């Protein structure tokens, strides 16, 4: 059941393990500078546009929500729809490495069905 909840001890253990996994990037970069520079993994990159329809679709969902929300209304619907042609590039750009920073390994699929406890 992928939406089953973890109890507190399981959640704490999972977060500790994820933190260690993420920290391996810092250790790798410290021991072997720029080792991850050419890492081409990940689902969100310019050369793989498979997720572009998903991103654009989510903007439409948000725009429709705004249109039906009294506090937001048509004004925000239009703003969101104007964002739609650019949303994929903005999303990809958020993964571009910044000068002086290093890439980080992430799990990216941390559902309860992907966790094993003994």
Please name every residue paired with 45 in a beta bridge, in sequence order, or none if there are none.
48
pLDDT at residue number 40: 63
The structure tokens listed for 109 are 């699929």
Confidence (pTM): 0.65
pLDDT digits (tens, 9 = 90+) for 59-111: 999 999 999 999 999 999 999 999 999 999 999 888 777 787 777 777 777 88
Q: What is the pLDDT of residues 1-50, one digit of tens each?
A: 667 788 999 999 999 999 998 898 889 888 988 787 777 666 778 888 88
């Amino acid at each position: 059941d992928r939406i089953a909840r973890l109890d507190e001890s399981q959640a704490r253990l999972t977060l500790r393990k994820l933190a260690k996994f993420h920290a391996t990037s810092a250790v790798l970069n410290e021991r072997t500078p720029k080792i991850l520079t050419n890492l081409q993994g990940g689902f969100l990159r310019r050369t793989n546009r498979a997720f572009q329809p998903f991103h654009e679709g989510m903007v439409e969902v948000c725009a429709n929500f705004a249109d039906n929300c009294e506090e937001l209304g048509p004004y925000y619907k239009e703003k969101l729809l104007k964002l739609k042609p650019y949303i994929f590039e903005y999303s990809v750009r958020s993964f571009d490495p910044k000068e002086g920073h290093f890439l980080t390994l992430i799990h990216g699929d941390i559902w309860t069905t992907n966790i094993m406890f003994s």
